[in-house]
Structure 1
Amino acid sequence: MTLGEDQVAKVTMDWIFSVAIHPSQSRALVAAGDKRGQVGLWNLDDRSSDGGVYVFEPHSHRVGCLHFSPAHAAHLLSVSNDGSLRCGDVTKAVFDEVYRDESASFSSFDFLSNDCSTLIVGHWDAHIAVVDRRTPGTSHELLGQVNSKTVRTVHMHPVDRNYFLTAGARDVSIYDLRCLKPSGMHPVASLSGNTKSVGSAYFSPVTGNRVVTICADNYIRVYDTSSLHAESPTILLSLKHNNTTSWLTRFRPVWDPRQEDCFVVGSMERPRQIDIFHESGELVHAFTNEDCLGSVCSINVLHPTRNLLVGGNASGRLHVFMD
């Protein structure tokens, strides 16, 4: 995969906090959410005068998480610090409100059901909500609180959808959704070893047998989660990584959706690059282009089936590596 001048575009006005790739095999459509609440869509196949970039303002604060719906090709869902979850129809440019809590601030979400009708939403104050899009209104179905000070990311297990993973403060924990309760919820497993705040945690995409985390102590860690009921999963990798990014969006390593043992993460190295690591800690590849990539891409995502990598930076630009 390579990067050219026509594969770099400014899609939002401010810092990018979330990036998503449409799963289509035939078209390259990417999205980014920024600090101000903007959502930018970029159709790389559109050669019109505006460059195929369309900007919307569905939120009033940071858009911390974006996902295209695997079940509905036109739907782009987003959560924000403004306490709302919206579903955008990209064919109509309409962003309907799905869930709102004016007293809360949302950090992340994931799809709970295969048809994407139900979701799990993480609140910054460590509450977890279950939302059913088929239910009239904008309230949750269930609301509980995990045993942590905050939740930065929430992620469902890819095989057993009864279990979900949260990261925040120094805590990385696996919970049983069937045990969700208003307070005092205890995890089935705690992933220890992080000494400062954790930026994110994600299950590996096929089996969920691995979890990758990133911590402000300047380490990326990979855990063995093949047994969900292991009280303290084994650390398989502690990779030294410069995560000191107070002037940038925090790094979030994410798994390659096409393989179980590699993850992509931004880098502070020069020349600027986006790294692919094996779970053993081996650097598999560094994506770089000194002419077109001159900034740190903190938020990165890989296409589920195509050779396509998108990186977002703190000035609202997306960089798309493709073959």
Structure 2
Amino acid sequence: MSGSRAEAEEKVGSRQRLQVNEYKENQNIAYVSLRPVQTTVLGKTAKVYLVPFSLSSYKPDQLKRSKSLLDKNSNNEVACKKCKKAEIKKTCRRILTPKMEATSSKAESTLQKSSLDVHAESNKWQYKSTSDTVILSADTESSQDGDSDEGTTPGMDDFSGLSPYEKKRLKNISENANFFASLQLSESAARLREMIKKRQPPESKRKKPKKKENETGCRRSMRLLKVDPSGVSLPATPTQPILVADENPLLPPGPLEMTSENRDDNSELFKGFLQTWAEVSKTRSKNTEKELSSIKSYKANLNGMIISEDTVYKVTKGPIFSMALHPSEIRTLVAAGARSGQVGLWDLTHQPKEDGVYIFQPHSQPVSCLYFSPANPAHLLSLSYDGTLRCGDFSRAVFEEVYRDERSSFSSFDFLAEDASTLIVGHWDGSMSLVDRRTPGTSCEKLINSSLSKIRTVHVHPVHRQYFITAGLRDIHIYDARCLNRSRIKPLISLTEHTKSIASAYFSPLTGNRVVTTCADCKLRIFDSSCISSKIPLLTTIRHNTITGRWLTRFQAVWDPKQEDCIIVGSMAQPRRVEIFHERGKWVHSFLGGECLASVCSINAMHPTRYILAGGNSSGRIHVFMN
């Protein structure tokens, strides 16, 4: 019986198909089921021994599981996770997702291990009939349905068509909404805004602690304590404010005596100085027709002009605003007007040089314009910001008052007539005055309102003396003196090529056929004024640094009275120099002085007949180049 039974079992085993859940990793599967699939095993015949078994009396160590089957089943679970089809995702969601949301990471690992045990157990043991086969998917679905029923939110029964995952998601959303509603964040934000709006700065400030009497304080200056070094209190200073006008009070009207500030008026030296000026003016050279020399010979004469320590001296106090050279042929006499209102005279032929300098105070504010009278070189006319125009007569040792206007400030003047009998005076407020010196007593004046808001310089045409040019803030105008009246007049010509502030504008000295202007845009412009019509063309533009800053006197390009096609202007270049340019823009010459010229000469003047150049800087020092 036993032998026949064994043979029957072998035959049955050869016909029996082993139920194994297989998964090939590299095979593209369109549909996967978690139920065991019956497959035919080729090769050796497996022997199956049926042993009675009950799950209730099962012990973990009773049977050893096959490691290969566990690994194969774990690969099945990984494949289920990676599959992209809708049914695989749905099945994996039923198995893994609710457990992950409901339990911690430790519970999740336990669930996965138990599922692996079920798979291994169902694949290793064979039951006698298909009805006894363990179906993993059915058990899993039943357990998942039980879990989802427990976590369903009350009131969600109406959504019976939703999946358990969607029901769980709706439950979480509802719980989060209820939680944030319980926090009442909107009401708290509204109350906070009201508190910020209603908040006001504290009314009372913190009181500073009182200083103890015996406490040692910090050291203080005895000057601030108003105590001298011996400990005695100084007398109280007057508390009345000092007005700016009191610092530079106007000098009394009328003539002023020519008293030197650096010399004794009764000394023989000062008397000899006045006599020298009077004699030099009598022996002046007669005016003859001048011819322009060639540029080659002009350069040769300029190269012979040198500077030395004997031709450099501080003449005035403060910056020099104006300069003039006496037209004498036998003596070198230089006049300089300073910002302090002083007028300094220097006779370079007198040695030592300190004895040849005399300083006078005919004005209380800057002297912006100086001219020796063309009719009588013994007369030196000076104009100041203080609204006075005076004439220094060295033969009588007095400064006469030519014109006075305390309500206005003067900027520049020039002679309308060759005999210096009439003058045109420019005001800083843009108005002009015609002054006639032939009237006894107070000079007859005629005040004219120009079309400019400010006038810096005034210059008369050397040939057609009815024309004069004025440099304003941005524009340059040419007027006809015969058409002046008290109402606002219109200019004959306006030059509007300048883009920044203008410093000066001058006619050429012999013919007046050229006009040179100095502008703060670092350009020197030369215009053709040979035919005064409605428009004057621009001939040349010379690039030149004219930015001197607030501490230096502004540059003013002037013509050489001997060579009217050449202009002289100071320079900011290093080493310090004074430059000469031709009217066509070509550089002609640079005056370099080495150690003798170590500053910027903003104001320069050339002798009308001799090769002598005098340059003044912003400290009152005069530098003279001569051959």
Please, which of 181, 188, 196 is the counterpart of residue 500 of structure 2? Answer: 196
Identify the range of structure 1 (4-13 vs 175-184) with the bigger mean alpha-carbon deviation: 175-184
SS at match of 1:141: strand
> Aligned-pair distance for 1:48?
4.4
Q: Does 1:270 align with 2:542?
A: no
Please, which of 226, 230, 235 is the counterpart of residue 538 of structure 2? Answer: 235
> Aligned-pair distance for 1:315?
0.2
Query: Which of the pair has more CA radius of gyration?
Result: 2
Contact residue 154 and residue 167 of structure 1 kept, 8 A = yes
Cα distance in 2 between the residues matched to 1:143 and 1:284: 42
Q: Does 1:182 align with 2:483?
A: no
Q: Which has the higher helix share?
A: 2
Q: Which amino acid aligns with 2:344?
A: G
Please, which of 15, 19, 41 is the counterpart of residue 323 of structure 2? Answer: 19
Of structures 1 and 2, the one with the larger relative CO (CA 8 A, separation 6+) is 1
Cα distance in 1 between the residues matched to 2:507 and 2:488: 24
Q: Which amino acid aligns with 2:548?
A: T
Contact residue 437 and residue 443 of structure 2 kept, 8 A = no
Contact residue 172 and residue 192 of structure 1 kept, 8 A = yes
Q: What stretches of structure 1 of length at least 5 have no aligned partner?
A: none
Q: Percent identity?
A: 60
1:60-209 matches, within 5 Å, as 60-209=364-513
Q: Which amino acid aligns with 1:29?
A: L
Q: Which amino acid aligns with 2:355?
A: G
Contact residue 576 and residue 599 of structure 2 kept, 8 A = yes
Identify the range of structure 1 (141-150 vs 64-73) with the bigger mean alpha-carbon deviation: 141-150
Please, which of 283, 289, 304 is the counterpart of residue 587 of structure 2? Answer: 283
Paired position in structure 1 for 2:120: none
Please, which of 521, 530, 533 is the counterpart of residue 226 of structure 1? Answer: 530
> Aligned-pair distance for 1:140?
3.9
Cα distance in 1 between the residues matched to 2:584 and 2:376: 36
Contact residue 474 and residue 501 of structure 2 kept, 8 A = yes
Q: 1:113 to 1:303 in 2, by over 3 A?
A: same
* CA deviation profile, 1:2-29 (whole Å, cap 9, x unmatched): 1010001111001100000001111100
Q: Which amino acid aligns with 1:152?
A: R
Paired position in structure 1 for 2:600: 296
Please, which of 333, 338, 346 is the counterpart of residue 34 of structure 1? Answer: 338
Paired position in structure 1 for 2:133: none
1:47-66 matches, within 5 Å, as 47-48=351-352, 50-66=354-370
Cα distance in 1 between the residues matched to 2:513 and 2:574: 33
* CA deviation profile, 1:187-214 (whole Å, cap 9, x unmatched): 1111221011110000001111100000
Cα distance in 1 between the residues matched to 2:334 and 2:382: 14
Q: 1:259 to 1:159 in 2, by over 3 A?
A: same
Cα distance in 2 between the residues matched to 1:140 and 1:126: 20
Cα distance in 1 between the residues matched to 2:442 and 2:449: 19
Cα distance in 2 between the residues matched to 1:67 and 1:180: 24
Q: 1:67 to 1:98 in 2, by over 3 A?
A: same
> Aligned-pair distance for 1:91?
4.0
Cα distance in 1 between the residues matched to 2:608 and 2:416: 18
Cα distance in 2 between the residues matched to 1:265 and 1:257: 14
SS at match of 2:310: helix
Contact residue 310 and residue 353 of structure 2 kept, 8 A = no
> Aligned-pair distance for 1:184?
2.1
Identify the range of structure 1 (134-143 vs 255-264) with the bigger mean alpha-carbon deviation: 134-143
SS at match of 1:23: coil
Identify the range of structure 1 (285-294 vs 179-188) with the bigger mean alpha-carbon deviation: 179-188
Cα distance in 2 between the residues matched to 1:183 and 1:263: 36
Q: Which amino acid aligns with 2:535?
A: S
Identify the range of structure 1 (287-296 vs 48-57) with the bigger mean alpha-carbon deviation: 48-57
> Aligned-pair distance for 1:136?
2.2
Q: Which amino acid aligns with 1:65?
A: C
How many residue pairs get aligned? The number is 322
> Aligned-pair distance for 1:73?
2.1
Cα distance in 2 between the residues matched to 1:285 and 1:84: 38
Cα distance in 2 between the residues matched to 1:281 and 1:140: 43
Report the RMSD for the aligned CA atoms in angstroms: 1.2
* CA deviation profile, 1:254-312 (whole Å, cap 9, x unmatched): 00111221010000001000011001111100001111000000000110000100100
* CA deviation profile, 1:114-149 (whole Å, cap 9, x unmatched): 111211111111111111112123444322122111
Contact residue 437 and residue 444 of structure 2 kept, 8 A = no
Identify the range of structure 1 (32-41 vs 241-250) with the bigger mean alpha-carbon deviation: 241-250
SS at match of 1:64: strand
SS at match of 2:354: coil
Contact residue 503 and residue 554 of structure 2 kept, 8 A = yes
Paired position in structure 2 for 1:245: 548
Contact residue 335 and residue 343 of structure 2 kept, 8 A = yes
Cα distance in 2 between the residues matched to 1:85 and 1:222: 30
SS at match of 1:285: strand
Q: Which amino acid aligns with 2:542?
A: L
Q: Which amino acid aligns with 1:245?
A: T
> Aligned-pair distance for 1:93?
3.5
Cα distance in 1 between the residues matched to 2:337 and 2:617: 11
Q: Which amino acid aligns with 2:541?
A: S
Cα distance in 2 between the residues matched to 1:241 and 1:140: 42
Q: Which amino acid aligns with 1:97?
A: E
SS at match of 1:51: helix
Paired position in structure 1 for 2:60: none
SS at match of 2:594: coil
SS at match of 1:320: strand
Identify the range of structure 1 (300-309 vs 92-101) with the bigger mean alpha-carbon deviation: 92-101
SS at match of 1:154: strand
* CA deviation profile, 1:173-193 (whole Å, cap 9, x unmatched): 110011112232111111221
Question: Please, what TM-score do these two structures have when normalized by structure 2?
Answer: 0.51
* CA deviation profile, 1:26-53 (whole Å, cap 9, x unmatched): 1100000011100000000111473300
